[in-house]
Amino acid sequence: MNYDVAVIGGGPSGLMAAIGAAEQGAKTILIEKGKRLGTKLMISGGGRCNVTSRLPKEEIIEHIPGNGRFLYGPFSVFDNEDIIDFFEDLGVKLKEEDHGRMFPVSDSARDVVQALLSKLEQLNVKILTNSKVVALDYGETSHDVILADNKKITVKSIVVSVGGKAVPHTGSTGDGYPWAKKAGHTITDLYPTEVALLSNQTFIKEKTLQGLSLRDAELTVKDKTNKSIISHRMDMIFTHFGLSGPAVLRCSQFVVKLLKQDHQQVSIFIDTLPDENQEQLFNKYKELSNDSAKKSIKNLFKGIVPERYLLFILDQNNIDPELKSANLSNEQIRQIIADLKSFEVLIHGSLPLEKAFVTGGGISIKEVEPTTMASKFVNRLFFSGEILDIHGYTGGYNITAALVTGRLAGQNAAWQSF
């Protein structure tokens, strides 16, 4: 079987690469080891598929702390606004939500996947599912893709879009790293990002706060010298093993990196009242306690945070929630406020890479041409998507990187195959 371009991997980046190649007139084959294409797209955005973000390019890159600056090159050719136009042209109407997140108007990831599959069909892309690639053989004028059943597909150009190692049930199990190494590429250390964090503190082990969500909390990661590394203000949740939720996921890669640098544990400080400083809060509750001397402390602070969290904070400071406000000392008010503003949770690890939403690390971006996604070592070999050492926060940023790099890889693979 001979083709101009083989795209390996049927995720967002691979689908985009196959369309990009076929639109240039290249005879294209898309090879996916799983049963169906677009599995990762189907589950993204909670099944609604957050296809990109409408934030300015600079802000999108800020939301991709893992080598996002590399994307300035690809964005100069095809960017987030082009992604929006691309889907609108396929008949998928999009709408903008908070933080510029773009979703299909139908709120259905299925519509996004179906539009891509229809486009592949219209462009006569040959699709092989349930087809595991076991090896790539690189040649001077053509490359061979070797399948598990020993079938060989000879092509002029290859695009490797097989993802990283996160969310393995979608097929991302690290298959592409050996192929990249064989071509001479460096694979930087792989680690979990956008991942829940582990704590073995007593209150976590005893599940005291399990299932409790804190809304709009500000989390700050500090290293062992007490230096602030990153802060994120979003929702979070206590779990039976530690912390999770959007704010925790965003902080996670910084925690994981500190732990890799021989930190035994890393501190996360939770500020449940980020809009007021400690002194303002102290004065406010000092006055309230004087004015409502007969109120219990539990009722004095009622509504400031979820009651379960308030009772936990009082317990941490050995303060009886039924104690009358008149008997509350200034020092005790300060202790309560200090914990509401800066409660420390000690983190000793994260869930494994297989449980993460995104893979950190991958093919070194120094070895890939930014405006074509071509390998600097092997002619007509291209990489796109999460196999590259590029990773962002959840919220459409990783899919943006996948679609943009996929588009460029597919188009350039086609042009170089003629």
Express each pLDDT in 82-97 by its tens digit.
999 999 999 999 999 9
Residue 279 has pLDDT above 80, yes or no: yes
Dump pLDDT digits (tens) for 144-179. 999 998 899 999 999 999 999 998 888 899 999 999
CATH number at residue 140: 3.50.50.60
58 and 106 share one domain: yes
Among 350, 371, 398, where does a domain finish? 350
> Residue 305 sits in which domain range?
196-350
Among 297, 322, 350, where does a domain finish? 350
Dump pLDDT digits (tens) for 284-342. 999 988 888 899 999 999 999 999 999 999 999 999 999 999 999 999 999 999 999 99
The CA distances from residue 184 to 181, 188, 197, in Å, are 5, 13, 34
Instruction: Identify the residue with better confidence: 150 or 380.
Output: 380
365 and 305 share one domain: no
151 and 221 share one domain: no
202 and 333 share one domain: yes
29 and 172 share one domain: yes
223 and 295 share one domain: yes
Q: What is the mean pLDDT of residues 187-205?
A: 97
114 and 227 share one domain: no
Cα 119 to Cα 201: distance, rounded to the nearest angstrom? 52
Q: Per the structure, how many domains does the chain have?
A: 2
205 and 135 share one domain: no
**pLDDT attached to residue 262:** 76
26 and 95 share one domain: yes
- What is the distance of C-alpha 158 from the center of its chain? 26
**pLDDT attached to residue 239:** 98
Among 320, 350, 380, where does a domain finish? 350
7 and 110 share one domain: yes
Q: What is the mean pLDDT of the chain?
A: 96
Dump pLDDT digits (tens) for 327-339. 999 999 999 999 9
**pLDDT attached to residue 169:** 86
Residue 115 has pLDDT above 90, yes or no: yes
